[in-house]
Structure 1
């Protein structure tokens, strides 16, 4: 089963076209983001491979000319780079958070499957696509309401202090991320 989603940044400067394909034993995400970021042209293509439990196994991020990031995981918090070199500073991170997309919020939302009014603190691999920084980051997701759609989560980054409410559909895909992204399709 394949789902297609298109998001626009609130600034109107970037647009993302994403394809999510669920297979019986794994999930594949492919996406392209184009636009302008920090007054520079932006073209990002990323692929994320997940197991059926929504744990990240691999993430590749490319620009037009080169691979920017390639990370692999055992799904339980052990990470390596694209050459198989261990990345111990990322240990215990299960999810990833790419700075240029609302999609990576779906990863912990689906993996955690929180009940209404339940919350969870998590460690993620935060990837700032523009600066090239890859760091662990502590975040919190709190399910704010009923199971019916749309579903609202309170999001908090302990690392940066940023917080927002995120509205998602029944699949956990962002519908509205106020002041950052809105889904067009």
Structure 2
């Protein structure tokens, strides 16, 4: 994989057996998140590798996910051209205005909006949310608000989910309560 490494992160899952290792790199005129998620869920063991391609403003251009999920080989390619999203070249309706990708199996994709979040204030955004099993892809309306003590309040409208994330200076989540925590200092 090419690109200048900016930071790395290693997470440990808190809600299941699993881990995720991710590298944030500068690549061409933008950035990439390159990771390796290994976990067990209701479908069995998963070994998923992902690459998220970002423009210079930290918006998603697309993502590739490959590996094994529940004993099946997977190869998914999400791509965005303007307001049109595709999954393996098939157009996905209902994603107009989505500028981020949220891969449900990793905290890595929170990095995009966290890098855009102002030092004081709130950021509202919409992600193309890829969930398992499936993949299922739909819009996920999210908000991030910086709070005291280095915490960021995160909400997801469609699921009515809310939590407080601990975040490092690189925009990586270091604690996603009940789901993920930093396993080492990357």
- TM-score band, normalised by the shorter chain? 0.7 to 0.9
What is the alpha-carbon distance in structure 1 between the residues aligned to residue 16 and residue 92 of structure 2? 35
How far, CA to CA, are the matches of 1:169 and 1:51 in structure 2?
21
Task: Give the unaligned 5+ runs of structure 2.
Answer: none
Normalised TM-score (structure 2): 0.86
- Alignment check: 8 A CA contact 1:98 1:129 kept: no
Candidates 91, 94, 97, aligned match of 1:92: 97
Instruction: Quote how far apart the aligned CAs of 1:40 are.
Output: 0.8
Match of 2:155 in 1: 156
CA distance in 1 between counterparts of 2:135 and 2:157 reads 20
Normalised TM-score (structure 1): 0.87
Instruction: Name the residue aligned to 2:78.
Output: 71
Choose which of 14, 20, 43 in structure 2 pairs with 1:16.
20
Corresponding position of 1:166: 165
Question: 1:159: Cα distance to partner?
Answer: 0.5
Partner of 1:81: 87
The answer for unaligned runs of 5 or more in structure 1 is: none
> Aligned-pair distance for 1:45?
0.9
In 2, are the aligned partners of 1:61 and 1:68 still within 8 Å (CA)? yes
From 52, 55, 59, give the equivalent of 2:59.
55
- The structure whose residues are more often strand, as a share, is 2
8 Å contact 1:32–1:46 — kept in the other structure? yes
Q: In structure 2, do the counterparts of structure 1 residues 160 and 125 end up closer, same or farther at CA, with 3 Å as the change threshold?
A: same
Counterpart check, 1:126 vs 2:129:
yes
Deviation at 1:139, TM superposition (A): 1.4
What is the rounded CA distance, in whole Å, between the counterparts of 2:77 and 2:132 in structure 1? 12
Q: 1:10/1:98 Cα in 2 relative to 1: closer, same or farther (>3 Å)?
A: same
CA-atom RMSD, angstroms?
1.9
